[in-house]
Amino acid sequence: YFKTLIVRISDKYGHSPTYSAAELSKQVFTNKSSMTKQYQACSNGQLSFTPALDGADIVNGVVDLVVEIDLSRVYVHSDCVSAADNAITLNYDVGTAHTYIMYICPDVVDFGIAAGVAEIGGKKSWFKNEFSSYPYVQMHELGHNLVFFHSGEGAAEYGDPTGIMGGYYNTDVNFGKMCFNAAKTWAT
């Protein structure tokens, strides 16, 4: 089981993700088509993400925090994550027993054309609020944390339509099982 912490980031100027902490927890961990349920289905129950619960400020795997900077004035999306990390260090108890951290930034944070970003082989992924509820975006970014690269075809970086690391997704959150292509499924 991978203990996963969701960090819902707001600023003191009123910029917040539209999804509440409770909604984000359900969308990642418990809904019928949540990222967690999709990973379990794709791995035949071998890969599971569970809510981090070891910090006093965590509720159902989510810490809801406020940063000091105006997030509408940041120039790169990583500044949202840096501000959240600073706030956690100074003001929040999130424990240490989590494997992955999913940061949810408000829509005022500029992600360019990206829905999310993740560290390849790292523990952090961050999401633009607008896409934070989409299981396929969550799975794709956490896939990078699991050291999966994009599934391309030919010259197209996202050209493989057979798996979640390619770029062809169904945006219906009630859509059936979304998995990785054969090579990446073998790795999970």
The confidence score (pLDDT) of residue 171 equals 54
Of 16-25, 39-48, 164-173, the range with the lowest mean pLDDT is 164-173
Distances from the Cα of 157 to the Cαs of 40, 58, 122, 125, 171, in angstroms?
26, 37, 21, 20, 20
Q: How far apart are CA 143 and CA 150, in angstroms?
A: 9
Q: What is the pLDDT of residue 181?
A: 62
How far is the C-alpha of 43 from the C-alpha of 40, rounded, in Å? 5
Question: What pLDDT score does 131 carry?
Answer: 92
Helix (H, G, I), strand (E, B) or coil at 159: coil
Please, what is the angle between helix 135-145 and helix 35-42, to 10°?
60
In whole angstroms, give the CA distance from residue 149 to residue 60: 30
pTM beyond cutoff 0.95: no
Give yes or no for residue 158 having a pLDDT over 90.
no
Question: Does residue 163 or residue 170 have the better pLDDT?
Answer: 163
Rounded to an integer, what distance in angstroms lies between the CA atom of residue 56 and that of residue 43? 32
Instruction: Place 155 in a pLDDT band, splitting at 50, 70 and 90.
Output: confident
Which of 46-60, 91-105, 173-187 is least confident? 173-187
If one compares 160 and 150, the residue with the highest pLDDT of the two is 150
pLDDT in the model for residue 163: 79
Q: At 149, is the pLDDT very low, low, confident or very high (cuts 50, 70, 90)?
A: confident
Residue 185 has pLDDT above 80, yes or no: no
State the sign of the Cα–Cα–Cα–Cα dihedral 62, 135, 104, 76. Answer: positive
The per-residue pLDDT for range 25-59, each reduced to its tens digit, is: 999 999 988 999 988 988 888 889 999 998 999 99
Query: Number of C-alpha atoms within 13 angstroms, CB side, residue 154?
Result: 3
- Predicted confidence (pLDDT) at residue 176 exceeds the cutoff of 70: no
Reply yes or no on whether the pLDDT at 6 is more than 90.
yes
Q: What is the pLDDT of residues 77-95, one digit of tens each?
A: 999 999 999 999 999 999 9
